[in-house]
Amino acid sequence: METEAEGNGFAIHPMDQFVVRPLFSDGPVHWYTVTNVTLWLALAVLCVAALMIFGTRRRALVPTRSQSVAELAYGMVRNMVEEVTGPEGVKYFPYVMTLFLFILFANLLGLIPASFTTTSHVAVTATLALLVFFSVTIIGFVRKGPGFLKMFWVEAAPLPVRPVLAVIELISYFVRPVSHSIRLAGNLMAGHAVIKVFAGFATMAVLSPVAIGAVTLIYGLETLVAVVQAYVFTILTCVYLRDAVADNHH
Amino acid sequence: MNELAMMGQYIGAGLAAIGCGAAGIGVGHIAGNFLSGALRNPSAAAGQMANLFVGIAFAEALGIFAFLIALLLMFAV
């Protein structure tokens, strides 16, 4: 990476911020090594726990600030699960809520300058997406038995088209975890790389006012993206859960 | 030979970036149609926000895939 950075002429290499480094040593990274990813994942978990613990400790009738934030998040995700997945899906609301808050805080912590964006790594988001994929598949088979496979047999379509549609539906079902994870990781990585590209222009005296303005604007956009992508990941989880939970009427 | 391969890499990355623009067209299409529908019937708009975001997410994902290919060509190959 170092030699490449010199070769490309970047003052700040845009991809340098995504390098996984061990926290306490310079040795190689094993699966048990404590790295910057571990640190920021743990911080995200701590933030979620702090919000929910401090938000619900008093349970006042007139909510404090932290309580109203916690209530707002709870109500939003709860409404989303009820609307998108249906009343049957409320059983899985805790899982969806956990996903939403974890991704939201991981995204927002990544916006702190010099921090590490854990959700920009496909390894992190793929774990989350595969968990969703496997839980949806298992829940579907447990609730409906072999009837879950009817999802691939589109009864609204004319009979000769159905086998073709079944193949397409099957492929799209297995592509879900890929697009689900790469959407989140790609969005975060793209935004942070663009910020660093403009930050690199700031070293050139002529361009620096433009660069600083651009970084400020994109930072605002990235804050929006961080929230929207957490929302999108959660709502897609709800959409996928609907296949496993809802009746086959639609 | 090495320089030729590098040239191909950079041209390929630039070509892949076209996909990002195409995703922009898709996202704009969805948002524009949502807005025109919402202005006709504002009372129904709030209930369709979830669909709007899902549609935008699906359209944007393909742009992100194109961007990913560009990044892979630039930094990983």
ipTM of the complex: 0.76
Which of A83, A186, A193 shows the shortest C-beta gap to B64?
A186
Is A22 in a helix, a strand, or coil?
strand
CB B19 within 8 A of CB B63: yes
Nearest of A188, A247, A229, A246 to residue A18 by alpha carbon: A188
Residue A31 lies inside a defined structural domain of this protein: yes
Q: Cα–Cα distance between A244 and A239 in angstroms, integer?
A: 9
Residue A66 lies inside a defined structural domain of this protein: yes
Residue A164 lies inside a defined structural domain of this protein: yes
Q: Give the rounded distance of the alpha carbon of A95 from its chain centre.
A: 14
Q: Cα–Cα distance between A40 and A112 in angstroms, integer?
A: 11
Residue B45: C-alpha distances to residues A46, A69, A239 (Å): 37, 25, 19
Mean pLDDT, rounded, of chain A: 87
Residue of B nearest to A4 (CA): B75
Number of domains in chain B: 1
Q: What is the percentage of chain A residues whose pLDDT exceeds 70? A: 94
- Does residue B57 belong to the interface with chain A, where contact is any CB pair within 8 Å? yes
Residue pLDDT, tens place only, A53-67: 988 887 778 888 888
pTM for the model stands at 0.86
- Cross-chain residue pair B64–A83, CB shorter than 8 Å: no
Number of domains in chain A: 1
- Cross-chain residue pair B68–A228, CB shorter than 8 Å: no
- Cross-chain residue pair A80–B50, CB shorter than 8 Å: yes
pLDDT-derived band at A3 (thresholds 50, 70, 90) equals very low
Angle at A193 between CA A187 and CA A199, to 5 degrees: 140
**Chain pair A-B, CB pairs under 8 angstroms:** 40
Record the tokens describing residue A122, joined without a space.
């496909």
- What integer pLDDT is reported at residue A6 of this predicted model? 42
CATH number where B40 lies: 1.20.20.10
- What integer pLDDT is reported at residue B31 of this predicted model? 94
Residue pLDDT, tens place only, B19-55: 999 999 999 999 999 999 999 999 988 888 888 988 8
> Which domain, by its residues, includes B34?
2-76
Angle at A183 between CA B30 and CA B8, to 5 degrees: 100
Residue A240: C-alpha distances to residues A131, A195, A233 (Å): 12, 33, 11
Residue pLDDT, tens place only, A137-178: 999 999 988 888 888 888 888 888 889 999 999 998 998 999
Residue pLDDT, tens place only, A185-233: 988 988 898 888 888 888 887 888 888 898 999 999 999 989 999 999 9
